[in-house]
Amino acid sequence: MVNRRIALFIILIGIVSVSAQDRKDTAAEAPRRYSVSTLPEFWTQMEDIFNDPSFSNANWGVLIQSLETGEYFYKRNEDKLFLPASSLKLFTTSAALNLLGPEYRFTTNIYKHGTIDGSLLKGDIIVQGRGDPTISGRFYGGDMLTVYELWADSLQNLGIEEIDGNIIGDDSEFDDRGLGEGWSWDDESYWYSAQSSAISFNDNCVNISVAVSRDKKNAKILVDPYTKYVVITNQVLVVPKDSTTDIDVFRDRGTNIITVSGTIKENSDTVRTFCTVNNPTQFAMVTLKHVLEMRGIKINGSSMVVGDLPRPVDYKDASLLFVNLSPPLREIIKVVNKNSQNFYAEQILKTIGLEAQHYGTVENGIESELDVFKDMGMNTDGMMLVDGSGLSRLDFVTPRQFVSLLNYMYKSRYFVPFFNSLPIAGEDGTMGTRLKGTRADGKIRAKTGYLTAVRSLCGYAMTAEDEPIAFAIIANNFNVPVKLAENLQDLVCLRLANFKRK
């Protein structure tokens, strides 16, 4: 246990630089009311915090435990079920580390069906997807087409300059349920509700840029990647410079007709946003075909999805050309947890199902996850999981189950990649602006969660004596501004960071 404590301390020290302000206890930074020396005193302060009258009609679920002694610093409704929101991603990413391993890489297999005659492929190119979420610009300096450009290089290195056939996307390793159970239909157009699919491109979204024309009378809209796959309806008005810029997107359900509406100030810089696409596999193949053609590879056929074919692809008659590998899982889960990326979480959940039960479905992924949690010694009674991201309002988890998970991962051989994936208070991710400049800056690693009337924070803290703490703080059913819930969570973190036993 001492070695684990030292390891955690080294990780924190290696990342966080302590400022002069943080090194000294000033009256403003560490008054007596923040520095407590006994657990009863700490417990009393927690009662004061969570009895805030602003939350009299809400529910708090809290569990705070020392990872060194096992003592509970505080409990409140710790065995009751709560909507976790995006804190649920801790379960998805920890299960992925345990089932797939931190070095796991998603594969996308590129096959040919037919024969090569000189520079002519007499047949099809088949892209067999296995859930890779990273075919985008996120890991390639912002250039979303890099992976496709590399595929074009590979085809040309094989001598292929013309394809007398189709570009076919095979997404049959996953089911075709792109949206999660219990997701709000109001959110379907927004990036955080992107559909999951065995083949994906650019997080299954298009990038949309809105700018003011030179004569300042009209709004111009550009789509990236350039594609005719989506149809844009421009309903954006240019307003005076003392007005407000407010851009919204809406995609008609089951189509790729996107309405961009709202206002943009006449002196505004370009506004950038995103919109999801329908049938993301088709979108990916349309874009791939365009890139190949721009690179000079002539394609005589169309871009297609395997579901549109009269029969499934027979890989016995196909030949593997090359394999695309994603970055390792340890880097991918940083995107999930630090940025709270829902699409990545859903891709990982279905991939767990694919690898464990040979078919990528949410149900298979959750069944495999629950086996892992039971092996951890977690009591999963009552736990309800329906997605991997926490976007659903049908997920229910107890604070004790969160802390049980955090305890297990703290002792696990996968602790370092798990810990490194969490947002750092005052430093990065969804915690980047919280607790900045306080004694808790850099001493809290925690996953945030947010839905309407839900705010959660679950993770690790280091006390003033570098004692490691696991905590879960979840608010449900409040009707006050979410900032008030954050303030109470931050106050608990600050008091943990200042806690001293001596």
Please tell me the distance from the alpha carbon of residue 442 to that of residue 465, in angstroms, as a whole number.
Answer: 14
Burial label for 263, CB within 10 Å (0-12, 13-18, 19+), is middle
- Phi then psi for residue 378, to 5 deg, are -80, 140
Per-residue pLDDT of the chain (502 residues; tens, 9 = 90+): 445 554 554 454 444 333 333 333 333 344 445 556 689 999 999 999 999 999 999 999 999 999 999 999 999 999 999 999 999 999 999 999 999 999 999 999 999 999 999 999 999 999 999 999 999 999 999 999 999 999 999 999 999 999 999 999 999 999 999 999 999 999 999 999 999 999 999 999 999 999 999 999 999 999 999 998 999 999 999 999 999 999 999 999 999 999 999 999 999 999 999 999 999 999 999 999 999 999 999 999 999 999 888 888 889 999 999 999 999 999 999 999 999 999 999 999 999 999 999 999 999 999 999 999 999 999 999 999 999 999 999 999 999 999 999 999 999 999 999 999 999 999 999 999 999 999 999 999 999 999 999 999 999 999 999 999 999 999 999 999 999 999 999 999 999 999 998 7
- CATH fold of the domain at 2-17+26-87+385-497: Beta-lactamase (3.40.710)
User: What are 266's two structure tokens?
Assistant: 């006449």
| DSSP per position, 233-288 | EEEEEEE-TTS--EEEEEE-TTS-EEEEEEEEETTPPPEEEEEE-SSHHHHHHHHH
Place of tokens 């979840």: 474
SS3 (DSSP) at 207 = strand
| C-alpha span between 280 and 13 (Å, rounded) | 43
Euclidean distance between the first and the last CA atom of the chain, given in angstroms as a whole number: 20
> The pTM is what?
0.93
Sketch the domain layout of the chain as residue ranges.
2-17+26-87+385-497, 107-179+280-325, 185-276
Print burial letters for 466-499: b (CB count within 10 Å at least 16), e (below 16).
Answer: ebbbbbbbbbbebeeeeeebbebbbbbbbbbbbb
CA distance 163 to 54: 66
Q: Homologous superfamily of 107-179+280-325 in CATH?
A: D-Ala-D-Ala carboxypeptidase C, peptidase S13 (3.50.80.20)
CA 141 – CA 146 distance, rounded (Å):
9
In sequence order, what are the residues at sequence separation of 6 or more whose Cβ sits closer than 8 angstroms to the Cβ of residue 219?
A: 210, 211, 212, 213, 234, 236, 237, 238, 264
